[in-house]
Structure 1
Amino acid sequence: MPLAQIEILTLAFPGNRFNGQILPELAKLVEDGTITIIDGLFVGVDPNGDIGYTEFDELGVGEEAAALSELVDRFDELISAEDVLEIAAGLEPNSSAAVLVFEHTWQLPLRDAIVGSGGVLLDSVRIPGRVVDDVLAAVAELDN
């Protein structure tokens, strides 16, 4: 069966301050069947500007690493070396990013119903909340 829509989130942590606080929320989404994490990695830029990365399935020991690895359903290796370089280019020295690739599994029943009724997905657009907030603020400013 084909996958539902896939999304890639890149979460930056200036100063390498990843502390695992996002893990309980990710766990809820996975346990509820809202998403299935299918790939992920950490990208880091050290103080000298050198780039390194670690796939989630290659994380070392530790409570946070183990908790994150347990959330990943499979590793499809969807993130390329070019992707890592592009992500790292957006990071300041001494910072890191977590890249999460997940399937919107909540969409599967809807997708099946659409296909079953002879429909096809014509388009799908996701707009980051920050962009929506900026646009609404600009519209409000024009109205004043």
Structure 2
Amino acid sequence: MTLGPIEIVVLGFESGNFTGEIVAELETLVNAGTISIIDGLFVNKVAEDTTEFVELDQVDVDSDVAKVASIMDRVEGLISDEDIDILTESLPVGSAAAVLVFEHTWIKPLRDAVVNAGGELVDTIRVPGMVVQEILDTVAEIEEEEK
């Protein structure tokens, strides 16, 4: 089985309180075939250089975090301790985060069609929405100055 493009998403909760309200939207994306959640963990930033984490498939079954684990396609063990340190270094002390590894399953049929036509999916590049917005704002400022 060939995977689609993979993306790691860190969803931070400054209050440290994850209530599971995002589960419905994640379920919608998974059920629509847009993404598969193939790995994940929940992190608490307890001190500037200290995080505590639990794999999503190892959480208490009665917790809100377990709701995310229940829609995971599989757990691949793709996130290392070093990854956790890098991904959570900007989180404030006392906050929590869900670190999710998505497979972009929506692109697999397109990729397969391209391969069947003799082509290949050469690359995928993710540009964060904040970066796109900064560019659009800059373009708007330049256009305004040129008027």
Instruction: Name the counterpart of 1:122.
Output: 122
Alignment of 1:1-144 (within 5 A): 1-46=1-46, 50-144=50-144
CA RMSD across the alignment: 1.5
Secondary structure of the residue aligned to 2:34 is coil
Moved over 2 A (4+): 47-50
* Structure 2 contact 42–65 (Cα < 8 Å) conserved: no
Secondary structure of the residue aligned to 2:109 is helix
What code does the residue aligned with 1:123 have? D
Distance 1:123 1:65 in 2: 33
Using the TM superposition, give the Cα deviation of residue 140 of structure 1 relative to its aligned residue in structure 2, in angstroms. 0.6
Cα 1:96–1:128 change in 2 (3 A) is: same
Corresponding residue pairs, total: 144
Distance 1:139 1:101 in 2: 33
Higher mean displacement: 23-32 or 55-64: 55-64
Using the TM superposition, give the Cα deviation of residue 49 of structure 1 relative to its aligned residue in structure 2, in angstroms. 5.4
What code does the residue aligned with 2:121 have? L
Distance 1:98 1:23 in 2: 11
Using the TM superposition, give the Cα deviation of residue 65 of structure 1 relative to its aligned residue in structure 2, in angstroms. 2.8
- What is the percent sequence identity of the aligned residues? 46
* Structure 1 contact 44–97 (Cα < 8 Å) conserved: yes
What code does the residue aligned with 2:21 have? Q
Deviations for 1:22-78, whole angstroms, at most 9, x for unmatched residues? 110000011111111100011111257531011100111325233211111110000
Distance 2:65 2:35 in 1: 19
Secondary structure of the residue aligned to 2:2 is coil
Using the TM superposition, give the Cα deviation of residue 116 of structure 1 relative to its aligned residue in structure 2, in angstroms. 0.5
TM-score normalised to the size of structure 1?
0.92
Higher mean displacement: 47-56 or 15-24: 47-56
* Structure 2 contact 42–56 (Cα < 8 Å) conserved: yes
Unaligned 5+ residue runs, structure 2? none
Distance 2:133 2:95 in 1: 26
